[in-house]
Chain A
Amino acid sequence: MSLQKLMEEHIKSLREFANTFFKNKFGVIGVAILSVFIFMAIFAPQISPYNPMDVKSIGVGKPFSPPAWIKIFNKDIPDDSVFGIMGTDELGRDIFSQIIYGSRISLIVGFAASFTAVFIGTIIGLIAGYYGGIIDEVLMRFADILLIIPGLPLMIVLAAILGPSIRNIILVIGITSWPSIARIIRSQVLTVKEMKFVEFARAAGCGDNYIIFKHILPNVMPLVYVNAAINIANAILIEAGLSFLGLGDPNNISWGMMLFFAEQYQALLRLAWWYIFPPGICILLVVLSFIFIGHALDEILNPRLRLRR
């Protein structure tokens, strides 16, 4: 088959996939929400009206100013006590700009940590499932132990030791969340391994590596995609949690860290809802978009589910 023909085949199957995907309501909503946040992350410097770290001295707002639009409900508030569309934080910094820049951290950590976890998990699942025996036993016992040690406390310990930086947060989430993926991939490999075409490939003299990557991997890929989407959602939630505990990268403001500072500076006591509301809603929307995409992929790629309809 010529290269051009191969490409055409590929594009055709992609188009077919896209057609099915965009018929799924959850998938469409997920992609729509995610696109907004990806746009925000890429064009953060262009969209945000202020530098998210600029304090009052360089002309931003008073500390803890509510957003300007509350004057619609209460005309008595003086003009210099309100600020922007989301108000200001404890140092008078613009919350709207922080929210926009925060999308970068969530998405970077989500994608990178999930990529790490899915990569390790898939490789280990493939090896354990394909070779079986003692290799399988050792790898799966190791995965079990990581699943038994409580997740968040383990990540707190690792994050505190490695020190606060985005790279370390990605590492910590990545190396602690591969076991569940490895387990899922392994059980799928066990099923695929028994299929006739694998037997034929072996009879034809194909090597183990060839069989694993050419015959088994393509058949577990749908599962990998679904798990990657769900994993990104979890990674974003974990990043928010670690940052909320003060283990985030102090040089890069993230949504979890905003909530950390909000709690430290008693935003709850001051009833500074404009400070607390936006980060939580943004985390919800981004996480939900990945869950929806995962749900849609699951319905399309997992034929067993289609029977249920």
Chain B
Amino acid sequence: MSEFRGYIVRRTIYAMITLFLTITINFFIFRVMPGDPVSIMVSERILKPAVVEEVRAMFGLNLPLWQQYILYIRNLLIGYLGYSFHWKEPVINVIMERMPNTILLMGVSTIFSVIIGIVLGILAAWKRGTKIDVTILTSSLTFYSLPVFWIGMMLLMLFGYYLGMFPIAGTMSRPPPEGFFERILDILHHMTLPAITLTLISYGEYTLLMRGTLLDVLTQDYIVTARAKGLPERRVLVRHAMRNALLPTVTAVAISLGFIVSGATLTETVFSWNGVGRLIYDAMMMRDYPVLQGAFLIISISVILANYVADIVYGILDPRIRYGGQGA
């Protein structure tokens, strides 16, 4: 058990270091950019030059870089992410307002793509070399190769504009319908097309991963032994192969959960879904660096956290990992 504790300690230290480096890089990326937001306001003649220095001082932009960095870290420690130039609100409010929409959309489509991906992957590996395998493989590769925004546009044109079955934009009707259940149904109605779009492009990854690892496992000695013992094929597949083959997929799912908060810029753009992905794009166009910096930070933290959880889960599921020294 002490090896396992050592493994967890190593992973924790590693995650902390990565987090610190990411925060630092995140700070510097947005300081080396040409034109801070104040100078953009000046060029657009929103502010008089005399006011500019005052605004710079207010945002701490007149300090030397290292002092700005210290200030940034200190603000992060008290949970202050800065103030949005464009939305005129604290950054954390701007992001959190859109976070539920993004988590809902990404969460639902991730669940669907994982389930569909795993089921098709197992089916393809089980029926390897047959027409079923080739069909699953080809369709997975095809959806993977399609631009996500194009699938969205096609679905929107057909089911939104032409057939009128689904709303063409937004996350909710305006004004929102009365009553709790009506409201939930309304959101689900708006969410259907974007969720289908995201599921279609991402299930293939899990299918290919599941099929690949299962085929790898099926050539292992212990499977040959299990078959040689005369166990029925189904039992070999379920009891011996699948348990081991699920490992990489579990890790992949855990890691992808970290990216849920980053949203899907392209899909959110097509469906005018008011989420974090679209926010990042809008903030960039407005040169609203505090919002961008805040969004990148929140996404990075959740990705690091998800990777950390994935490492721990892997350590629990696969004992070889925690005795393997570096554990990478």
- Point out residues on A near B: beta carbons under 8 Å: 141, 144-145, 148-150, 152-154, 156-157, 160-161, 233, 237, 240-241, 244-245, 256, 259, 262-263, 268-269, 271, 273, 276-277, 279-280, 283-284, 287-288, 291-292, 295, 307-309
Contact = CB atoms under 8 A, between A and B. Distances in A.
Contact of B219 (A160, A237, A269, A308): A308
A309 B215 CA distance: 9
Contacts of A273: 157
From DSSP, what is the main secondary structure of chain A's interface residues? Answer: helix
A33 to B, nearest CB: 11
Nearest to A153: B280
Given A280-B147, A283-B146, A291 B141 contact: yes
Given A244-B149, A283-B146, A283-B150, 7 more contacts: A153-B280, A160-B284, A160-B285, A161-B33, A256-B147, A263-B270, A276-B157
Nearest to A285: B145
Contacts of A245: 265-266, 269, 281
Contact of B145 (A153, A288, A308): A288
B147 A268 contact: no
A27 to B, nearest CB: 13
B300 A149 contact: yes
Given A157-B292, A280-B146, A292 B26 contact: no
Interface in B1-41: 17-18, 21-22, 25-26, 29, 33-34
Interface string B148-165: 111001101100111000
A24 B136 CA distance: 18
B18 A145 contact: yes
Contacts of A145: 18, 21-22, 25
* Closest 8 pairs between A and B when the two form their complex, measured CB to CB: A280-B150, A287-B145, A150-B262, A288-B145, A153-B280, A268-B157, A148-B303, A240-B147
Contacts of B157: 268, 271, 273, 276
A241 B266 CA distance: 7
Contacts of B135: none
Nearest to B306: A148
Given A153-B277, A259-B153, A280-B150, A269 B161 contact: yes
Nearest to B296: A149
Contacts of B156: 268
A148 B147 contact: no
A153 B263 CA distance: 10
A226 to B, nearest CB: 13
B124 interface: no
Given A156-B280, A259-B150, A148 B22 contact: yes
Contacts of A263: 153, 270
20 contacts: A148-B22, A148-B304, A148-B307, A149-B22, A150-B259, A160-B284, A161-B34, A237-B145, A240-B147, A240-B150, A256-B147, A263-B270, A268-B153, A268-B168, A273-B157, A276-B150, A284-B145, A284-B146, A288-B142, A292-B141
A279 B36 CA distance: 37
Contacts of B242: none
Contacts of A240: 147, 149-150
Contacts of B17: 141
Nearest to A141: B21
B295 interface: yes
Contacts of A149: 22, 25-26, 296, 299-300
B112 interface: no
A273 B168 CA distance: 16
Given A153-B296, A263-B270, A244 B147 contact: yes
Contacts of B296: 149-150, 153-154
A273 B150 CA distance: 12
A152 B270 contact: no
A154 B154 CA distance: 27
Contact of B153 (A152, A276, A283, A307): A276
A280 B215 contact: no
A156 B21 contact: no
B299 A150 contact: yes
A256 B299 CA distance: 27
Interface in B231-257: none
Contacts of A308: 128, 215-216, 218-219
A274 to B, nearest CB: 12
Nearest to B35: A161
A241 B280 contact: no
